[in-house]
Amino acid sequence: MPDDFKIPPPQWPDEKKLIDALKTQIKSILSSQHETGTSTRYAVPEKMVKAIADLATNAWKAKIKMIDNSSGEVRDEMRRVYRPIEGMFASFQELGVEIKDHTGEIFDYGLPLKVVTTQPTPGITKERVIETLKPTIYWQEHIIQMGEVVIATPA
């Protein structure tokens, strides 16, 4: 084989110099964050955040349709399908996604919820969420979807 076609051996940078440079950059970033009181946030495409919220909402909708309203148990005909849905919820939890159904909770106008409608109800003294139309979705403790609810109000 002619010498013209020899591939030179790879030239690797000095690992110690690279590690030292990275340490210096990280210390600089952390120092500036400490001085300004800011923190680094990961840039996540908005489409991905919306897709996570949509997946979580649709999984939640499927799950609540599998439950018998009177007993609170999984309907017999839905048991086989319910297991994979529960698996999805476990995966959401591993990703840091929390799906919050507000049904039954006392309502406070300071909560980050959109009230779609109210229903005057005799015999109650405090507003209460009687139906969650869309759950609140948190990702890494940040709201990525505001919940939508129906509330009962004192008549």
Mean pLDDT confidence for 121-147: 95
CATH of residue 78's domain is 2.30.22.10
Asked whether the beta carbons of 66 and 74 are under 8 A apart, the reply is yes
Q: Which residues of 45-81 are buried (b: 16+ CB within 10 A; e: fewer)?
A: eeeeeeebbeebbebbeebeebeeeeeeebeeebeee
Range of the domain at 103: 44-154
- Say if residue 27's pLDDT is above 80: no
138 within domain boundaries: yes
33 within domain boundaries: no
12 within domain boundaries: no
Query: How many whole angstroms from its chain centre is CA 133?
Result: 17
67 within domain boundaries: yes
Domain total of the chain: 1
Mean pLDDT confidence for 89-108: 94
Asked whether the beta carbons of 153 and 118 are under 8 A apart, the reply is yes
39 within domain boundaries: no
130 within domain boundaries: yes
How many CB atoms neighbour CB 118 within 10 A? 14
51 within domain boundaries: yes
Q: How far apart are CA 141 and CA 41, in angstroms?
A: 13
* 124/20: higher pLDDT: 124
23 within domain boundaries: no
